[in-house]
Amino acid sequence: MKLMCVSVLRWNHDTDDAVLLDGAFNLDEYNFFQKGSVKEFMAFASKTVMKRTGGGISAVDYEGNMLFAVVQADGLGAIVMADKEYAPRVAVALAKEVLAAFKGAHAAAAWRAARTDYAYRLPALEGTLREYQDPTKVDKVLRLDKQLGETKDILVKTIEKVLERGEKLDELVDKSAALSAQSKMFYKQAKKTNACCAVM
């Protein structure tokens, strides 16, 4: 799962294109020469989705990635770009959180008049992008699912260990002085009978 970018935009049909008020981009895996182009592509994708998406919440498959858009009636929107494995519920929650933080940091009258990109910064955006890289850290349901998966793995390993012990049980029965010869014979006969029935 990978979160690629989070951006805050505005568009009220009063400009040719959506205005990118601020954005945070995950460019760690790209070399120095690629970073500018990748960032430009992500900004272009965010603007395109913002401009073509009506109000509300939507998800768009764009060049093999998912763009989750939350656009409010006042023309303010947040776009989250992630790979297809990223949890949609977490992406939408992130977009809503970013919009609330942006509105808290800036007066509505100011950002509504913005016509140039990066005119209204949200300093916490970079940190939020890093925090949401692992959705299990921020989403209780995914965290619980991960814990259940880990518990299941532990139980499977425990069962495998018990089965290994079961194979050694034959040796213990043979070596035991506490069991009579008759009990040892009964154990071996029961094991043969069970093996026969399990095959059928």
Q: For residue 56, give the amino acid letter.
A: G
Question: pLDDT tens digit string along 104-162?
Answer: 999 877 899 899 999 999 999 999 999 999 877 765 554 555 555 566 566 556 656 65
Between CA 81 and CA 59 the distance in angstroms is: 10
pLDDT band at 64 (very low <50, low <70, confident <90, very high): confident
Q: Which of 134, 160, 185 is the last residue of a domain?
A: 134
139 assigned to some structural domain: no
- Look up residue 18 and give its two tokens: 């959506």
Is the confidence at residue 57, as pLDDT, over 60? yes
Is the confidence at residue 48, as pLDDT, over 70? yes
Between CA 89 and CA 57 the distance in angstroms is: 11
pLDDT band at 200 (very low <50, low <70, confident <90, very high): very low
Q: What is the pLDDT of residue 109?
A: 79
Q: What is the pLDDT of residue 164?
A: 61
With tokens 């992130």, the residue in question is 94
Q: Which helix (H) or strand (E) holds 137?
A: helix 135-138
Q: Which helix (H) or strand (E) holds 193?
A: helix 181-199
pLDDT band at 11 (very low <50, low <70, confident <90, very high): very high
CATH of the domain at 100: 3.30.450.50
CATH of the domain at 155: 1.20.5
Contact between 80 and 67 under an 8 Å Cβ cutoff? The reply is: yes
Q: For residue 130, give the amino acid letter.
A: R
80 with 154, same domain: the answer is: no
Contact between 68 and 95 under an 8 Å Cβ cutoff? The reply is: yes
Is the confidence at residue 15, as pLDDT, over 80? yes
* Rg, C-alpha atoms of the chain: 29
More confident residue, 8 or 169: 8
Domain that holds residue 176: 146-199
- 156-173: average pLDDT: 59
108 with 178, same domain: the answer is: no
Length of the chain: 200
97 with 161, same domain: the answer is: no
Query: How many domains in the chain?
Result: 2
140 assigned to some structural domain: no
Average pLDDT, the chain: 82
CA 129 to chain centre: 12
57 assigned to some structural domain: yes
Is the confidence at residue 189, as pLDDT, over 50? yes
Q: Look at residue 166 and give its three-state secondary structure.
A: helix
Contact between 81 and 91 under an 8 Å Cβ cutoff? The reply is: no
Q: For residue 127, give the amino acid letter.
A: G
Q: Look at residue 4 and give its three-state secondary structure.
A: strand
What pTM was computed for the model?
0.68
Q: In what order do the strands lie in the sheet with 3-10?
A: 19-25, 3-10, 76-82, 65-71, 56-62
